[in-house]
Structure 1
Amino acid sequence: MITPGRVEGLSVTPVQRNALGDQVAAKLRWLIATGELPAGYRLVEASLSTDFGVSRGPIRDALSTLQAEGLVAVRGRGLAVVGISADDLLELFSLRLTLETFAVRRCAVREDADWRPALDLLKEMDRAADDGNALAFAEADLEFHTSLYRIAGHRRLQRVWEGYRPTFAALLAVSTAQDRDLHPAAQSHWEILDHVRTGRVDAAIEELAEHLVGARSRLEAFRTARHEGAGG
């Protein structure tokens, strides 16, 4: 008799291909976010396999992931980069503000909220700012915002955020790299959390909006400068 929920005789080993696919997807996201892979660029499995030094399996996994995220799409008989235009940035960041505003409002009324993960991440951001480590700062920054979605306690809201999180991870890494001094950004996050914890929701949302507008502006400036440099 087979026990419900179990599969007799199944031997499971770690699947490494997915991990490689995630790494390839992360690199391709970065290249798309910076504009190094422009809209219309054709993605050929064989060429990417050679470029990344992996088999076609991880490449296929990565392209499937990016297709689901809307960063690549079928063009003719293959896949091509969709790209992230200025309009796309506006849509992405306005959507994020809408989602995160909802999350913040829910966080503010949670009497059982555990703020320790968010506080720990703010301390990580401070350390990264002191060290001038933009990558570590960006990673802690994204985790901080993710912690707000968790504290909000809304499963479907968190699921929506998780769908867009990889794209924002790439965008955030690019925008954070443009900051010469990361301390003002760290302070902004401390203020967001302080406002939320003390029930000053409108102030938290205003600070959040300024934060997101700043990130989008840095991205647009970076991409404009890159485009002008390439044109020159």
Structure 2
Amino acid sequence: MRQTVRHASLGERLADQLRREIIRGELEVGAHLVEDTLAARYDVSRGPVRDAFKILSAEGLLDDRRRGFFVRGFSPRDVEELYSLRSSMEQLAMQRAAEQAEPEQWGAVEAELAGMYAAAEHRDWHVFAEHDLAFHGAFYRLSGHSRLQAMWDQYQPTFGAMLDVTNEQDIDLRPSADDHAALLALTREGRIPELAARLAEHLSGSERRMTTALAPFWARATAR
């Protein structure tokens, strides 16, 4: 079936679609992705397809070989690596934000938190995930650390695709929103040791939920 992608950034939109298929195991490990085939499938030129390949290769989801791009896949090790990296990055981002953010700058984080509560009320897991990522991303901006921000920007789309898998399985999203509210309060109050412990617990719990949610996809991929 011919599918159409028509947005301003076609390469990024196509990368979003392929990223989800890779994380969910819908694209087999080792599969060769062909430019012409994907261009026809999504009704785009080859340029956006090449852009998508470059994005996903940088994220570690595709292998760039001499004969083209191949699906690297997504495994429990990938989840562990991403979360261990994020734990270190986010602790630094929140600490720096706590140390240097001005009072009026916290409004952006508060707005994302309010969006999470609203999405939880409506049980809209997709919107909740968007606000969740924006909430965490705000701390990277407030950190004033451009290279730290660049690292988050590189892997944020992968975390977004992962959150879509876990949040869609949650019946009650409010406890997660409450947890984010606690992180914000500790950061604003500059309670760094407590913040570090709470953040570690938050991300560890997220990693466990992610591994559990993705296990069926990994099992199906292994059974093929």
Q: Is the CA contact (8 Å cut-off) linking 2:63 and 2:69 kept in structure 1?
A: yes
Partner-residue secondary structure (3-state), 2:37: helix
Other structure's SS at 2:28 match: coil
Secondary structure at 1:80's aligned position in 2? Answer: strand
1:42 and 1:79 in contact (8 A); partners too: yes
For normalisation by structure 1, the TM-score amounts to: 0.86
Aligned residue in 1 for 2:211: 220
Counterpart secondary structure, 2:63? strand
Tell me what 1:43 maps to: 33
1:180 Cα deviation after fit: 1.7
The answer for the alignment partner of 2:196 in structure 1 is: 205
Asked if the contact 1:129/1:181 (under 8 Å) is kept, the reply is: yes
Query: CA shift at 1:229, angstroms?
Result: 4.9
Aligned residues: percent identity?
A: 41
Shift of 1:227: 3.5
Does the Cα contact within 8 Å between 2:63 and 2:72 map onto a contact in 1?
yes
For residue 180 of structure 1, the aligned residue among 153, 171, 175 is 171
Q: What's the secondary structure of 1:74's corresponding residue?
A: strand
Q: Which runs of 5+ in 2 are unaligned?
A: 1-5
Residue 55 of structure 2 is aligned to residue 65 of structure 1? yes
Bigger Rg over Cα: 1
> How far, CA to CA, are the matches of 2:175 and 2:119 in structure 1?
12
Residue 111 of structure 1 and its aligned partner are, at CA, apart by: 5.4
Structure 2 match to 1:90: 80
Q: CA deviation at 1:67?
A: 1.4
Equivalent AA in structure 2 for residue 167 of structure 1: T
Whole-angstrom CA distance in 2 between matches of 1:190 and 1:110: 20
* Offset, 1:210: 2.1
Q: Does 1:160 align with 2:151?
A: yes
Deviation digits for residues 117-158 of structure 1 (CA, Å, limit 9, x no counterpart): 000100000000000001100000000000001111112211
> What is residue 128 of structure 1 aligned with on the other side?
119
Deviation per CA, 1:13-56: give whole Å up to 9, x if none. xxx88611111011111111222223212111122122222222
Contact 2:11 2:49 in 1 (8 A): yes
State the number of aligned residues.
Answer: 217
Aligned to 2:107: 116
In 2, Cα distance between equivalents of 1:71 and 1:157: 21
Instruction: Indicate the residue corresponding to 1:12 in structure 2.
Output: none
2:9 aligned counterpart, secondary structure: helix
Determine the C-alpha separation between the residues in 2 that align with 1:121 and 1:155.
21
Question: Could you tell me how far apart the structure 2 residues matched to 1:153 and 1:33 are?
Answer: 31
Preserved CA contact (<8 Å) 1:122 1:189: yes
CA contact (8 A) 1:39 1:83 kept: yes
Map Cα deviations across residues 93-135 of structure 1 (whole Å, 9 max, x no partner).
Answer: 0000000001111122125251000001000000000000011
TM score, norm. by length of structure 2 = 0.89
Q: In structure 1, what residue type is equivalent to 2:164?
A: A
In structure 2, distance between residues paired with 1:17 and 1:142: 21
Distance 2:101 2:153 in 1: 24
Give the corresponding residue for 2:140: 149
CA RMSD across the alignment: 1.9
Tell whether the 8 Å contact from 2:129 to 2:164 is kept in structure 1 after alignment.
yes
